[in-house]
Amino acid sequence: MGNISDRWIAQLDLLPLKDYAVLTKAILRDEGKPKLSAKYQPIADDIYKQLDRRDYLKMAKHKERESVDVNSMSTKCQQDVNKMSTREEKRAVSPPLPPSSFPSHSPINTPYNPPFPEKKEEITPSLKSPPTPQKPPYQPPNAIYAEIVQYLNRATGSNYHSGASATRTLIHARLAEGFTVEDFKTVIDAKTKEWQGTEFEKFLRPLTLFGTKFESYLNGKQNTKKPGKNNAGAATEKEIDEFMQVFNGGA
């Protein structure tokens, strides 16, 4: 399963919700480059160009390692052949030994003829330092998703599930940007106080609160316009339905 790099967040935030869902789903599922709206297709082209470059570098590194292994094996084989040739040349030059030079019987291990002690090879510790383990990409524990969603449910009287793919993707993106659980709670409290009991109460949900305007909500930049296509950063009901349909596997 693919990962969404932090350097793509700024580009993804420029997309409409439907294109955002199509592109993030394709990246997370290691699918081919999706087709977006003509205006936003260059964003998908740029991200997939980076993905192709990353795969090419991995393949080149693998081939380089294989080449080193083959060259090492070839050198070892050549050394063995040279040793065998030298041994054969010495045999051809040395005169045969007379029969009297051979012992009449094999030597017997006795107190007067003890066996030669076996030579133990000393193991020299390697001076190379062990490789530094690579740090895996940050994956928030399930408890963090549950804590944030349960706090939203208690504040708004809702029943959202912390295991929903779209909700987890939004929370993960904000945590990757450096926001904390306390920041989520601050946004939930502020927007619940501002919108509850008004026409905007229906937007007290993860898709709106944890989206690209999260930092504006956190810093108290309140928007009093009714969400719609002409309101930058907000979404209409139709766009939200399309987002959920595409992200959850629809057409």
pLDDT number for residue 159: 93
Q: What is the pLDDT of residue 232?
A: 43
Task: Kindly report the backbone phi and psi dihedral angles of residue 113, in degrees, each rounded to the nearest multiple of 5, phi listed first.
Answer: -135, 65
Q: What is the mean pLDDT of residues 89-95?
A: 66
In this prediction the pTM is 0.38
Mean pLDDT, to the nearest integer, of 166-175? 94
pLDDT at 227: 45
| Residue 71 banded pLDDT, cuts 50, 70, 90 | low
Using alpha carbons, list the distances in angstroms from residue 229 to 19, 36, 194: 15, 18, 22
Backbone φ, ψ for residue 40 (5° rounding): -105, 5
What pLDDT shows up at residue 244? Answer: 61
More confident residue, 103 or 163: 163
Cβ-based neighbours of 150, under 8 Å, separated by 6 or more: 162
pLDDT at position 8: 82
Distance CA 101, CA 241 (A): 99
The gap from C-alpha 15 to its chain's centroid, in whole angstroms, comes to 23
Q: What integer pLDDT is reported at residue 197 of this predicted model?
A: 92
pLDDT at 229: 40
**Per-residue pLDDT tens digits for 195-221:** 999 999 999 999 999 999 999 999 975
Q: Give the tokens for residue 49.
A: 């160009």
- CA-atom Rg of the chain in angstroms: 34
Structure tokens at 82: 């040279």
Tokens 């969603």, residue located: 149
User: How confident is the model over 129-139, as pLDDT tens digits?
Assistant: 777 777 666 67
> Taking Cα atoms as reference points, which of 82, 5, 15, 14 lies closest to residue 247?
15
Would you state the pLDDT for residue 42? 93
- Token look-up 């083959």 returns 70
Inform me whether the pLDDT recorded for 251 exceeds 60.
Answer: no
> Which residues, listed in sequence order, are joined to residue 110 by a DSSP beta bridge?
113
CB 21 within 8 A of CB 247: yes
Average predicted confidence (pLDDT) for the chain? 77
Asked whether 28 and 2 are in contact (CB, 8 A), the reply is yes
Question: What's the N-to-C CA distance of the chain in angstroms?
Answer: 21
Q: Which of 195, 193, 206, 189 is nearest to 149 (CA)?
A: 206
Asked if pLDDT for residue 56 goes beyond 50, the answer is yes
